[in-house]
Structure 1
Amino acid sequence: MGNSFGCSASGERLVSAARDGDLVEAKMLLEFSPYLAKYSTFGGLNSPLHFASAKGHNEIVALLLENGADVNSRNYCGQTALMQACRYGHWEVVQTLLLFRTNVTRADYLSGRTALHFAAVNGHVRCIRLLLADFIPSVPYEVISAQTNGSKGDGLNARSKYDQPALSKFVNKAADGGITALHMAALNGYSDCVQLLLDINANVSAVTFHYGTSMDLIGAGSTPLHYAAGGGNLKCCQILLSRGASRLTLNCNGWLPLDVARIWGRHWLEPLLAPNSQLIVPTFPPSYYLSLPLMSVLNIARECGLQSSVITSDDNDNCAVCLERACSVAAEGCGHELCVRCALYLCSTSNIPSEMVGPPGAIPCPLCRHGIIAFVKLPDSPAKDLKVHLSLGLCTPCMLHPCDSGISTSAWRPEIRKNRVASVSSDLLCPVSCSPFPSVAIPLCTCDDVSCPSLEPQGGETREESLADTQGSSVEDKMEGTKLVKASCSSIFWNRRSGHREHQCNSEINA
């Protein structure tokens, strides 16, 4: 049992080096045995690539991948190195993993979370920007907006056409309980993430489900505005309202976003979320983190590699930014030349307001401040293919392929919808900092609507006890006649075996 290398002392040394960031030790071990790059700790928890990605050791990540580590390898929770890097916000590691063509659409085994969910939960907007690089073409933002809205422009060429449904499916991928990345960014008050997700076609009216293994403290049928009201961030609520979110949508508990704000003690949001509010909602420009040239320079980096040519004797051929590498890309428009590493770093980090440099999503040229929409490869740039290793592990079906589903979270009705299910007591709500996808049971649906689907009960004794507690609850635990199920903060942590797995994997990394 365990892994194919058994209890290898060299493998454990490599794991320690990857965790501690010891590049010299890692190089020595991989020179001795390159196959150690595929080593995993006993029980299949995490590989050295998982450790290095979670700790942000980018050089060790690149070293492992160059020596044959599987970029899409999973621990036994189903989490990839990309998910670990996005969880902790190591955008440089995300960039390296993307250069080796990691699969950004994979979901973990526990709650169906993708790397986008991990980045949105913790507000790592640069990681979100990089995850979207292969979905957003390097074309003017107006063309993307026109195609998103369904209109066909006259000036569309072959390069401006892109797979918009694939982008929409990836951004609106629902984890367990129907929770999208937009829900979690809104709940935790990350306005930059909310704005970026909405700019790339996130569904502002997506609703959560009443079934699944995650406890929904706000209620099934909740929109991102319900979650933003629970989080208490004013700017998040304003952004959602400016993009078409409705104040009149009821969740399955019969709560408006205003009711959620009152229950969670966010009284400063009441004037904005009131159904008859007369407050003027400000308009917001496109996100500062929208990066249009990222796809073009990422593809060039995959083709040429980041280790560009050595400095030549002619100073004019050297990159004017780093002065170390030869120029390999040129900016469309101004024509200034840079090395591919500096161009990729510029597209990954810049957050200059677009109206200051050019069209939305443009990146300012470091030499003339001209807005860059795309980079082109120089004719004399050498081609260098990165090592790409196919994954042999089990994986979930790609979410970009169409699947049969009886429930659509994208359908939105402007009228008030009301479905009632048992919910959680308002005085026992867990703070925002709690785990967003806890693995505990959901109460049975008691909807009056016939069309609302329901699941068979599991663990009848537990449900009978919870119903008995509900009947004996005080008047303060009731709201408009709806009986609330008591819960405690301890019940929302990972109690099942699947949750224990993730806790075990994370504790191994943080040890």
Structure 2
Amino acid sequence: MEDGPVFYGFKNIFITMFATFFFFKLLIKVFLALLTHFYIVKGNRKEAARIAEEIYGGISDCWADRSPLHEAAAQGRLLALKTLIAQGVNVNLVTINRVSSLHEACLGGHVACAKALLENGAHVNGVTVHGATPLFNACCSGSAACVNVLLEFGAKAQPEMHLASPIHEAVKRGHRECMEILLANNVNIDQEVPQLGTPLYVACTYQRVDCVKKLLELGASVDHGQWLDTPLHAAARQSSVEIIHLLTDYGANLKLRNAQGKSALDLAIPKSSVEQALLLREGPPTLSQLCRLCVRKCLGRACHQAIHKLHLPEPLERFLLYQ
């Protein structure tokens, strides 16, 4: 009975079902792997990570494919990093987000690790799914040493427009030395990034006074910001009177209006030190400023004196004084 045709029939059916199931599961994993690659290329990090969880059986985060080389670079463990390289570990291994060990070393400001990776063939202009290069990460950490090493090994000081901008990141975080190194390597001082504006605009937005000073000294366009919004508009929204004085000293146009038709003075907080600084820089008050004063309940003697200073024709002056 055991060796009969019925037994062999059931056995063959079982083997066929098992083989079919195994093949089907393998096919699904291959399909998901290809789909993950597609989303990585498209830059959809969230979807790629979700699919990776399906492939690798419940991995909970997108950093699960970090190698020991990534960890050594991130922690600045030079001896461990060199040992791994000597053992034949690929220096260009990347995570699901396309983060390399060089990215990690630069983000941590570990210049010795970055140099060791570069000397062993690490891609100096590698790009993550978020558009970050190792140079961008070096500017993020504020490591001027890493910036210099990367440039020595051929890093692009000014990457393509669709990638994250190193100089904007350096200015945003107030890393003036990194900013100066990039500018010395022919980065466009007035490069406007759609979502950020020019480096000067970013410096004003984040109130990085040292960067504002240096950018102006090196010839940055004082009125070039983010489309119609000027650096003065950005400074007026903040509370740094020092930046207002710096911009106006370098000839910022106080009358320029943004896309909403507002001047820097219109954006200043009423009765703030920034508003006072802008009013002083504008000189004698205009009719629009007088109206603004009236709206703020500043009618009275001060307003009358301001009207007299305008030297208007007598009929118009009399009209304004008695309205």
TM-score bracket, shorter-length normalisation: 0.5 to 0.7
For residue 120 of structure 1, the aligned residue among 160, 171, 176 is 171
Please say which structure displays the higher CA radius of gyration.
2
Is contact 2:143–2:178 with CA below 8 Å preserved after alignment?
A: yes
Cα separation, 1, equivalents of 2:65 and 2:81: 10
- Match in the other structure for 2:92: 38
Partner SS state of residue 90, structure 2: helix
Report the alpha carbon displacement of residue 276 of structure 1 after superposing the two structures with TM.
6.0
Q: Does the C-alpha gap of structure 1 residues 278 and 122 become closer, same or farther in structure 2, counting only changes over 3 Å?
A: same
1:273 pairs with 2:291: no
Structure with the bigger percentage of helix: 2
Cα separation, 1, equivalents of 2:230 and 2:181: 26
Cα separation, 2, equivalents of 1:105 and 1:187: 22
Report the alpha carbon displacement of residue 10 of structure 1 after superposing the two structures with TM.
11
Report the alpha carbon displacement of residue 278 of structure 1 after superposing the two structures with TM.
4.7
Is contact 1:229–1:266 with CA below 8 Å preserved after alignment?
A: no
- Match in the other structure for 2:154: 101
Aligned partner of 1:29: which letter?
L
Q: Does the C-alpha gap of structure 1 residues 108 and 54 become closer, same or farther in structure 2, counting only changes over 3 Å?
A: farther
For residue 250 of structure 2, the aligned residue among 228, 240, 243 is 243
Cα separation, 2, equivalents of 1:70 and 1:236: 40
Cα separation, 1, equivalents of 2:250 and 2:219: 11
Unaligned runs of 5+ in 1: 136-166, 210-220, 280-511
Is contact 1:95–1:130 with CA below 8 Å preserved after alignment?
A: yes
For residue 241 of structure 2, the aligned residue among 225, 234, 237 is 234
For residue 26 of structure 1, the aligned residue among 73, 76, 81 is 81
- Match in the other structure for 1:429: none
Is contact 2:131–2:164 with CA below 8 Å preserved after alignment?
A: no
The 5 Å alignment of 1:73-222 reads 73-107=126-160, 109=162, 113-135=164-186, 170-177=188-195, 179-209=197-227, 221-222=228-229
Report the alpha carbon displacement of residue 275 of structure 1 after superposing the two structures with TM.
6.9
Q: Does the C-alpha gap of structure 1 residues 10 and 240 become closer, same or farther in structure 2, counting only changes over 3 Å?
A: closer
Cα separation, 2, equivalents of 1:278 and 1:206: 23
Report the alpha carbon displacement of residue 92 of structure 1 after superposing the two structures with TM.
1.5
Report the alpha carbon displacement of residue 277 of structure 1 after superposing the two structures with TM.
4.0
Is contact 1:77–1:108 with CA below 8 Å preserved after alignment?
A: no
Aligned partner of 1:246: which letter?
N
Moved over 2 A (4+): 275-279
- Match in the other structure for 1:502: none
- Match in the other structure for 1:17: 72
Cα separation, 1, equivalents of 2:221 and 2:171: 15
CA RMSD of aligned residues (A): 2.5
Length-normalised TM-score, structure 2? 0.64
Length-normalised TM-score, structure 1? 0.41
Is contact 1:107–1:115 with CA below 8 Å preserved after alignment?
A: no
Q: How many residues align?
A: 225
Q: Does the C-alpha gap of structure 1 residues 275 and 223 become closer, same or farther in structure 2, counting only changes over 3 Å?
A: farther
Is contact 1:222–1:250 with CA below 8 Å preserved after alignment?
A: yes
Cα separation, 2, equivalents of 1:254 and 1:271: 21
Aligned partner of 1:268: which letter?
S
Q: Does the C-alpha gap of structure 1 residues 238 and 40 become closer, same or farther in structure 2, counting only changes over 3 Å?
A: same
